[in-house]
Chains A and B, each alone.
Chain A
Amino acid sequence: MSPPLLEVNDLKMHFPLGGGLLRSPTKFVYAVDGVSFRVERGETLSLVGESGCGKSTVGRAILRLLKPTGGQVVLSGKRIDDMSSGTLRPLRRRAQVVFQDPFSSLNPRIRVRDALAEPINNFGLAKNRADLAAKLDALMDKVGLPREALGRWPHEFSGGQRQRIGIARALAAEPDLIVCDEAVSALDVSVKAQIVNLLGDLQKELGLALLFISHDLAIVEHMTHRVAVMYLGKIAEIGTKRQIFARPRHPYTEALLSAVPKPDPLAKRDRIMLKGDVPSPISPPSGCRFHTRCPYVFDRCRTEEPRLREVERGHEAACHLNDRDPQDNPLLDGARA
């Protein structure tokens, strides 16, 4: 079996706090604290969680916009987490990014043509000027924008159009993986659907892998293959879309799913309300990080940290409840259909 396109092993991203010119930092923000997952070619993995759970930081570490403080990032068989920026540059082509805010993701002083040509020229993907022009036209066609728009400035476009330009820029490098960091969260509903469908079409057409970072479970359910749920810098549960949405095996996932609005106004809703706020990632709780808010908390959760453990094939969850007798596991009551 060929290696996965992207493999993340025990990724850690700790940001120092309170350090100065001569003082060493006293505390750390444990933004990402031991995250592992794989993304196969042509697959969509969604990273979901509340804001501040570290999902964007994972994305930035994979793109090496941040240097991980621990763990490994392996992109098509090559470790990139400890590469120098010079060695890394040619490999950057393989992983590109689409950001949330369509307004700040394009430099206001650079025309669309030059923004799209930047990655093509950096990676030497065009043989000559005619080839470059043809590639630019093809990119515009792919994302459904008129070719004439190449000569325009970013401020002349709407949010959805800018997001298409952002996607075209990511595609320009001919990547294998695109990290979509809340790529549709800032768009209104109709445009959101268009962009999600565009991403899906491009994935089928080009065999792209997507790492889709989002807090919007409705969108995630619509477009993903697999889901990883993050809580406070760790993965709480990871599995296929069907497994996660129908048979969550972590109380946090269960609570998240209960918060997804349903289009049926008469549907009975058992909303699980979580108490309190997300604890601070500066001093995460002992034991299970979720124990302060978990409705099923028991003694073991406060002292012993649960490992991510396979509960069924391709489905892993980090919860002590799964060690119990299935009769005594509240997560298995009334599994969602």
Chain B
Amino acid sequence: MADAAFAPPPGLAVAEELPDVIPARKRLTGVWGFVRRRPSVAFGAALLGVMALLAIFAPLIGTVDPGALATSKRLRPPSAEAWFGTDMLGRDLYSRVVYGARVSLIVGFSVAVLASIAGLVIGLVSGMVRWVDGAVMRLIDGMMSIPPILLAVALMALTRGSLQNVVIAITLAEIPRVARLVRGVVLSLREQPYVDAAVAAGTPAPMIVIRHILPNTIAPMTVQATYICASAMIVEAILSFIGAGVPPITPSWGNIMAEGRALWQVKPTIVFFPAIFLSLTVLAVNLLGDGLRDALDPRMAKRL
């Protein structure tokens, strides 16, 4: 800004004001901009969206009753009539795989939500209350020494196979991971100067948790929840595959693969289609989780 009253000393000249040489960077907005900036997240979200739509609208998208037997049409290869072929009881594989998405998604999301809530509560209490911490964490350590799949199998052995029991078993097996994560975050947050400042400012302990600690645990926990969702889908398929999951009459991807196992050398399609769907769904959830992690807190990304 040239001041009118300002005269340059002799021998010196005032430079002209330079134009803005750096053009404003054009930033793509909207859906297309997001796809360009974060292709993997967009891909994951789209894939998961498709799976969810398949599961919700399963009866409307060219499927037949997934349990309907047709002994005359056993082990057909993929065709216009039966897109993925039929299994050894003549059931339409396409219908079974599409209905199987329901089981996987319900298990994945229920476990992610339930394990997050339970883990959050345990982690918060453990991180805030000293004397609870020792006891609870020893218990959690004990649970973590058992692989989640084994723990889920053991829990399923105690009850009968049903979707609800599968969800409960996998949730119990996944809680320790969330609880540990939340506890760790709480322990580091409570040492933050702003927490001390809030204590000095007379904020009661419950309000400190609600205002200063809980909101800062949400980001890492959401990221963890996506990984738990993916892991729960895999555990569910494994449970079904070894016959410890949902009842065999329910078409779940693990059940379909278990049924096709004996025939996989002659009819690989029976195992192939549910396996591909399971892989794609887990991939979609993981891509979404990575994107969430980067978006919510880049610094946290390195710690997880």
Measured CB to CB, the residues of A under 8 A from B are: 20-21, 60, 63, 65, 85, 89-90, 92-93, 95-97, 99-101, 104-110, 118-119, 122-123, 166, 169-170, 172-173
| Contact call A101/B201, Cβ cutoff below 8 A | no
- For the complex, give the distance between the alpha carbons of A166 and B193 in Å: 11
| Contact call A123/B202, Cβ cutoff below 8 A | yes
| Contact call A122/B138, Cβ cutoff below 8 A | no
| Contact call B201/A107, Cβ cutoff below 8 A | no
The answer, yes or no, to whether B142 is at the interface (CB within 8 Å) is no
- Residues on B with beta carbons closer than 8 Å to the beta carbon of A85: 205
The answer, yes or no, to whether B30 is at the interface (CB within 8 Å) is no
Q: Which residue of A is nearest B203, CB measured?
A: A122
Contact with A along B171-204 (1 / 0, CB 8 A): 0000000000000000000001110111111111
- Residues on B with beta carbons closer than 8 Å to the beta carbon of A119: 201-202
Say which residue of A106, A109, A122 sits within 8 Å of B201 (CB atoms). Answer: A122
| Contact call A65/B196, Cβ cutoff below 8 A | yes
| Contact call A107/B194, Cβ cutoff below 8 A | yes
Q: Mind listing 23 A-B residue pairs with CB under 8 Å?
A: A21-B135, A21-B138, A63-B199, A63-B200, A65-B199, A90-B202, A92-B201, A96-B200, A97-B200, A99-B193, A99-B196, A100-B193, A104-B194, A107-B198, A108-B216, A109-B215, A109-B216, A110-B212, A118-B201, A122-B202, A122-B204, A123-B202, A173-B201
Say which residue of B138, B193, B215 sits within 8 Å of A105 (CB atoms). Answer: B193
| Contact call B194/A92, Cβ cutoff below 8 A | no
| Contact call B200/A92, Cβ cutoff below 8 A | yes
Q: Chain B: how many interface residues by the 8 Å CB criterion?
A: 20
Closest beta carbon of chain B to A121's beta carbon, Å: 9
| Contact call A169/B216, Cβ cutoff below 8 A | no
Closest beta carbon of chain B to A276's beta carbon, Å: 30
- Residues on B with beta carbons closer than 8 Å to the beta carbon of A93: 202
The answer, yes or no, to whether B247 is at the interface (CB within 8 Å) is no
The 5 A-B pairs with the shortest beta carbon distances in the complex, nearest first, are A119-B201, A122-B202, A99-B193, A105-B193, A21-B134
Q: Which residue of A is nearest B201, CB measured?
A: A119
- For the complex, give the distance between the alpha carbons of A63 and B199 in Å: 9
The answer, yes or no, to whether B38 is at the interface (CB within 8 Å) is no
| Contact call B134/A96, Cβ cutoff below 8 A | no
Q: Which residue of A is nearest B135, CB measured?
A: A21
Closest beta carbon of chain B to A112's beta carbon, Å: 12
Contact with A along B50-69 (1 / 0, CB 8 A): 00000000000000000000
- For the complex, give the distance between the alpha carbons of A90 and B194 in Å: 19
Enumerate B196-251 residues with CB–CB distance to A below 8 Å.
196-205, 211-212, 215-216
- For the complex, give the distance between the alpha carbons of A233 and B194 in Å: 26
| Contact call B194/A65, Cβ cutoff below 8 A | no
Q: Given A109-B215, A109-B216, answer yes or no on A96-B201 (Cβ-Cβ < 8 Å).
A: yes
- Residues on A with beta carbons closer than 8 Å to the beta carbon of B203: 118, 122
- Residues on B with beta carbons closer than 8 Å to the beta carbon of A172: 201
| Contact call B216/A97, Cβ cutoff below 8 A | no
Given contacts A99-B193, A104-B194, 5 further A-B contacts (CB under 8 A): A92-B202, A97-B196, A106-B194, A170-B197, A173-B202
- For the complex, give the distance between the alpha carbons of A21 and B132 in Å: 10
Say which residue of A21, A63, A90, A110 sits within 8 Å of B211 (CB atoms). Answer: A110
- For the complex, give the distance between the alpha carbons of A111 and B166 in Å: 43
| Contact call A89/B202, Cβ cutoff below 8 A | yes
- Residues on B with beta carbons closer than 8 Å to the beta carbon of A169: 197, 201
- Residues on A with beta carbons closer than 8 Å to the beta carbon of B204: 89, 122
Which of A101, A109, A123 has the largest number of chain B CB atoms within 10 A? A109
Closest beta carbon of chain A to B219's beta carbon, Å: 10
| Contact call B134/A97, Cβ cutoff below 8 A | no
| Contact call A97/B194, Cβ cutoff below 8 A | no
Contact with A along B239-276 (1 / 0, CB 8 A): 00000000000000000000000000000000000000
| Contact call B200/A95, Cβ cutoff below 8 A | yes
- For the complex, give the distance between the alpha carbons of A132 and B212 in Å: 21
- Residues on B with beta carbons closer than 8 Å to the beta carbon of A20: 134
- For the complex, give the distance between the alpha carbons of A125 and B177 in Å: 43
| Contact call A101/B138, Cβ cutoff below 8 A | no
- Residues on A with beta carbons closer than 8 Å to the beta carbon of B205: 85
Closest beta carbon of chain B to A122's beta carbon, Å: 4
- For the complex, give the distance between the alpha carbons of A325 and B291 in Å: 75
Closest beta carbon of chain A to B171's beta carbon, Å: 27
- For the complex, give the distance between the alpha carbons of A237 and B138 in Å: 47
- Residues on B with beta carbons closer than 8 Å to the beta carbon of A109: 215-216
- Residues on B with beta carbons closer than 8 Å to the beta carbon of A110: 211-212
